[in-house]
């Protein structure tokens, strides 16, 4: 009998819960174990990262980074893959990227800018270790500053942005079982990860999510009831939820991603771009640029006709430069 997958991660971690959502959809045998002071050194030495989650496979590999992990797992569960092949798979990648690298800042804001949520999360993470609790309470506002939600206008805009996402998801989930049709994708995994780790967990945003009954039911029960069947919308006619997100990306995610790209290339620690009508400072980070480059490389692997279709589509929705290698 093979060993189960082991997810080393945390209940309040967006990407841990994203990976768990995928494993649930795969109907995989897995358990979640916490990363502790006792096992952290071993996990980090084996995986090469201090971040969570880390997935221990049945053959004892220790792997990190949820998007490549899910692509690897698709090869093991091909009938239940989270990234479809072809152009619809590109659509999934683009939408997942928005939530991974942009909407995640909203989760950080809700958790650490609201005192009740900050106390809840720091105590849940730190437990009886008072120094760990104090560390998290100090770390949280710094994470908000690094991800551009320190100014009040940006806080308000981030909340309005997430409210629009909830409204679009509520409408979509009354029409289909998942956000791109009647079977789940990696998009559903990241949206569920955010709900389960943050906005339907922390007390302040939880009160907002409670006003969206279809989203709430989907998060708490319905999403995990997939039987392995169902169809996705066509690439040429994406769901209203997908279209809503695509319409949001050129004015928010795109300037952020390109600003971070340029800052990384110049070796700069911070960068500034205009978001919601004002200049905002962000910490320059390697991973968002690496993730953007993975998408560029993914497009480059298409056959010529599909590649040209993909590039034309990206230009038509205002994302041509965002996912370009400079030769669009």
The CATH number linked to 29 is 3.40.30.10
Q: Tell me the β-bridge partners of 56.
A: 6, 62
- pLDDT 10s per residue in the chain (328 long)? 589 999 999 999 999 999 999 999 999 999 999 998 899 999 999 999 999 999 999 999 999 999 999 999 999 999 999 999 999 999 999 999 999 999 999 999 999 999 999 999 999 999 989 999 999 999 999 999 999 999 999 999 999 999 999 999 999 999 999 999 999 999 999 999 999 999 999 999 999 999 999 999 999 999 999 999 999 999 999 999 999 999 999 999 999 999 999 999 999 999 999 999 999 999 999 999 999 999 999 999 999 999 999 999 999 999 999 999 764 4
Residue 328 lies in a domain: no
Regarding whether 98 and 44 lie in a shared domain, the answer is no
Regarding whether 183 and 125 lie in a shared domain, the answer is yes
At residue 33, φ and ψ (nearest 5 deg) are -125, 145
Q: Tell me the β-bridge partners of 5.
A: 30
Report yes or no: 20 and 32 within 8 Å, Cβ to Cβ.
Answer: yes
Regarding whether 309 and 190 lie in a shared domain, the answer is yes
Q: What is the pLDDT of residue 327?
A: 43
Tally of residues, the chain: 328
Of 22, 52, 80, the last residue of a domain is: 80
Element (H, E) at 282: strand 278-283
Say what the pTM is. 0.97
Report yes or no: 45 and 84 within 8 Å, Cβ to Cβ.
Answer: no
Regarding whether 120 and 53 lie in a shared domain, the answer is no
Regarding whether 96 and 64 lie in a shared domain, the answer is no
Residue 325 lies in a domain: no
Residue 327 lies in a domain: no
**In the chain, which ranges are continuous DSSP H helix?**
14-26, 40-47, 66-76, 86-98, 104-113, 115-126, 130-146, 152-173, 186-194, 203-209, 213-220, 240-248, 253-266, 286-300, 304-316
Residue 99 lies in a domain: yes
Q: What is the pLDDT of residue 325?
A: 78
Residue 216 lies in a domain: yes
Q: Which pair of structure tokens corresponds to residue 51? A: 């971040």
Q: What domain count does the chain have?
A: 2
Regarding whether 107 and 162 lie in a shared domain, the answer is yes
The parent domain of residue 70 ranges over 5-80
The phi-psi region of residue 277 (left if phi > 0; otherwise alpha if psi is between -120 and 50; otherwise beta) is left
Regarding whether 134 and 271 lie in a shared domain, the answer is yes
Of 23, 57, 80, the last residue of a domain is: 80
Q: Which of 154, 160, 157, 159 is nearest to 282 (CA)?
A: 154
Of 80, 96, 123, the last residue of a domain is: 80
Regarding whether 100 and 49 lie in a shared domain, the answer is no
């Amino acid at each position: 009998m093979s060993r189960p997958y082991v997810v080393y991660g945390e209940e309040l971690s967006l990407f841990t819960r994203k990976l768990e959502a995928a494993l649930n959809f795969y109907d995989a045998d897995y358990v979640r174990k916490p990363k502790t002071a006792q096992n952290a050194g071993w996990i980090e030495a084996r995986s090469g990262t201090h971040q969570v989650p880390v997935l221990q496979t049945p053959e004892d590999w220790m792997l990190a980074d949820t998007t490549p992990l899910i692509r690897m797992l698709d090869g093991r569960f091909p009938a239940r893959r989270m990234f479809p092949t072809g152009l619809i798979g590109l659509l999934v990648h683009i939408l997942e990227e928005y939530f991974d690298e942009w909407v995640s800042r909203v989760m950080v804001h809700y958790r650490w800018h609201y005192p009740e949520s900050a106390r809840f999360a720091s105590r849940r993470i730190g437990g009886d270790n008072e120094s760990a609790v104090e560390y998290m309470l100090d770390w949280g506002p710094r994470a908000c500053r690094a991800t551009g939600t320190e100014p009040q206008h940006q806080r308000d805009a981030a909340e309005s942005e997430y409210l629009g996402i909830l409204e679009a998801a509520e409408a979509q989930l009354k029409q289909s079982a998942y956000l791109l049709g009647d079977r789940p994708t990696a998009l559903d995994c990241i949206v569920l990860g955010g709900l389960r780790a943050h906005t339907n967990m922390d007390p302040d945003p939880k009160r907002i999510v409670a006003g969206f009954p279809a989203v709430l039911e989907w998060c708490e029960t319905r999403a995990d009831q997939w039987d392995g069947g169902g169809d996705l919308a066509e690439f040429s006619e994406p769901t209203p939820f997908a279209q809503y997100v695509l319409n949001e990306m050129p004015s928010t995610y795109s300037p952020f991603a390109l600003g971070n790209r340029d800052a990384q290339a110049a070796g700069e620690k911070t960068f500034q771009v205009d978001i919601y009508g004002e200049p905002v400072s962000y910490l320059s980070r390697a991973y968002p640029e690496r993730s953007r480059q993975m998408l560029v490389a993914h497009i480059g692997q298409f056959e010529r006709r599909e590649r040209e279709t993909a590039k034309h589509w990206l230009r038509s929705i205002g994302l041509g430069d965002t996912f370009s290698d400079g030769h669009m």
